[in-house]
């Protein structure tokens, strides 16, 4: 077992390097936006999410475990003290769902989401989209709030750990625009708080997944070039 400071430094470096590698991978598998079949779009989406799971989650987790003896339980892959927080998490969930109902009216947001740009959506395609987000965000939160936040918390204390986490978290959203990077700060602060209070990443995984998935669903619904083929549109 190495020192807590060494683990925290590793976590910072791993977050930066793995994020950079993931962006390179995204560029490689982006492909030509023209003349892509529905099957090609689904395959590329799946590879993006699987690559994120491997690069942002599995590889850093293995390195942290092998080199530093940092177990998944220490990284918050446990319920920990999260049970008492779930009433607050339920309230936050309702808030984010309602927020996404209104945010999805923004044409700029619908230009980015859903990431999987299919014209017609059935249950199987929705399952692929939802499963992709949950898989990716589980790995994402394991790195950002499990390895990075908790190791920095033990090594440097509360405010340095939160500051480092939010700075890197917001920076990772910059490619999607300044508005999304700024919006990531309060959301990141909330899930940092939940993680620190519970020593568990499960609340962060749940809230992040719910926020992302509900945003996708409402953006699909409001996009006039897309439709659900298993129920008719109603006004919201």
Following DSSP, what letter does each residue of 82-127 receive, concatenated? -GGGHHHHHHHHHHHHHHHHHHTT-HHHHHH-SSS--SEE-HHHHH
Under 8 Å CB-to-CB from 216, ≥6 apart: which residues? 113, 114, 115, 129, 130, 133
pLDDT score for 80: 86
Cα–Cα dist 147/74, whole Å: 8
Instruction: Check whether 233 has a pLDDT greater than 70.
Output: no
- Where b means 16+ CB within 10 Å and e means fewer, 148-173 reads bbbbbbebbeeeebbebbbebbbebb
Quick: pLDDT tens for 62-97.
Answer: 999 999 999 999 999 999 888 899 899 999 999 999
Per-residue pLDDT band at 234 (split at 50, 70, 90): very low
3-state secondary structure of 180: helix
Cα–Cα dist 162/19, whole Å: 18
Cα–Cα dist 84/86, whole Å: 6
Instruction: Check whether 164 has a pLDDT greater than 60.
Output: yes
pLDDT score for 58: 97
Cα–Cα dist 155/218, whole Å: 41
Cα–Cα dist 125/105, whole Å: 22
Instruction: Check whether 134 has a pLDDT greater than 90.
Output: yes
Beta-carbon neighbour count of residue 145 at 10 Å? 26
* CB-neighbour burial class of residue 210 (10 A; exposed 0-12, middle 13-18, buried 19+): buried
Task: Please choose, from the candidates 202, 163, 166, the residue with its C-alpha nearest in 3D space to the C-alpha of residue 185.
Answer: 166
Instruction: Check whether 175 has a pLDDT greater than 90.
Output: no
Instruction: Check whether 230 has a pLDDT greater than 80.
Output: no
Say if CB 128 and CB 46 are below 8 A apart.
yes
Q: Where are the domains of the chain?
A: 4-228
Per-residue pLDDT band at 35 (split at 50, 70, 90): low
Instruction: Check whether 235 has a pLDDT greater than 60.
Output: no
Instruction: Measure CA 157 to chain center.
Output: 24
Average pLDDT, the chain: 92
pLDDT score for 173: 87
Instruction: Check whether 159 has a pLDDT greater than 50.
Output: yes
Per-residue pLDDT band at 174 (split at 50, 70, 90): confident
Under 8 Å CB-to-CB from 100, ≥6 apart: which residues? 211, 214, 215, 218
**Residue holding tokens 């959203």?**
173
Per-residue pLDDT band at 32 (split at 50, 70, 90): low
Task: Please choose, from the candidates 155, 153, 177, 175, the residue with its C-alpha nearest in 3D space to the C-alpha of residue 165.
Answer: 153
């Amino acid at each position: 077992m190495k020192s807590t400071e060494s683990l925290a430094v590793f976590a910072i470096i791993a977050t930066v390097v793995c994020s950079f590698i993931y962006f390179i991978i995204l560029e490689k598998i982006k492909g030509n936006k023209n003349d892509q079949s529905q099957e090609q779009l689904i395959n590329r989406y799946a590879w993006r999410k699987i690559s994120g799971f491997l690069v942002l989650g599995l590889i850093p987790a293995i390195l942290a475990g092998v080199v530093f003896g940092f177990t998944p339980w220490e990284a918050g892959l446990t319920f920990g003290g999260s049970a008492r927080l779930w009433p607050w998490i339920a309230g936050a969930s309702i808030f984010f769902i309602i927020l996404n109902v209104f945010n999805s009216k923004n044409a700029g947001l619908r230009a980015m989401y859903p990431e999987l740009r299919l014209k017609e959506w059935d249950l199987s395609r929705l399952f692929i989209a939802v499963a992709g987000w949950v898989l990716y965000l589980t790995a994402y939160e394991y790195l950002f709030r499990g390895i990075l936040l908790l190791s920095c918390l033990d090594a440097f204390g509360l405010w340095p750990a939160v500051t480092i986490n939010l700075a890197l978290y917001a920076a990772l959203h910059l490619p999607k625009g300044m508005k999304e990077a700024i919006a990531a700060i309060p959301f990141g602060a909330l899930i940092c708080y939940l993680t620190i209070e519970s020593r568990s990443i499960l609340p962060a995984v749940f809230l992040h997944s719910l926020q992302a998935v509900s945003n996708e669903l409402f953006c699909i619904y409001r996009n006039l070039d897309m439709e659900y083929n298993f129920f008719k549109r109603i006004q919201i």
